[in-house]
Structure 1
Amino acid sequence: MLIRVEIGIDAPGIDALLRRTFGRDAEAQLVHDLREDGLITLGVVATDDEGQVIGYVAFSPGGGGR
């Protein structure tokens, strides 16, 4: 396993992982939209020995309101 900062080529694997994990499209679409809007401050992937994405975490600024 390798843990590293995500790169552009990881996007399809991240998308597939999120859809598989959550069983719906909402989370994958949210990450896609945040990425497209430049709002992911840091994205980190875990990959297996074949380079497949098996884990993902993203950091994005949040609102300060309640």
Structure 2
Amino acid sequence: MVDRCCVGPYPRSKFFASPGTYDAFHTCNAWTITALKIAGYPVHPAGVIFAGQGVGQLNKLSVCK
């Protein structure tokens, strides 16, 4: 895999290129829930815009109690 990394705005931070899109309805919160779904957790990224929407799903998981 090619490292497509750029220097980020903070010390030692980096940005990585992605084929994904980011907009008001497809945010980093949805990306996180999607990654957890792929990892096998019973969560659903549809409708997740705000962090609280993702956290609400996570709080229902027995592994998070």
With the length of structure 1 as denominator, give the TM-score of the two structures: 0.29
Higher relative contact order (CA 8 A, sep 6+): 1
Larger relative strand fraction: 1
More helix by share: 1
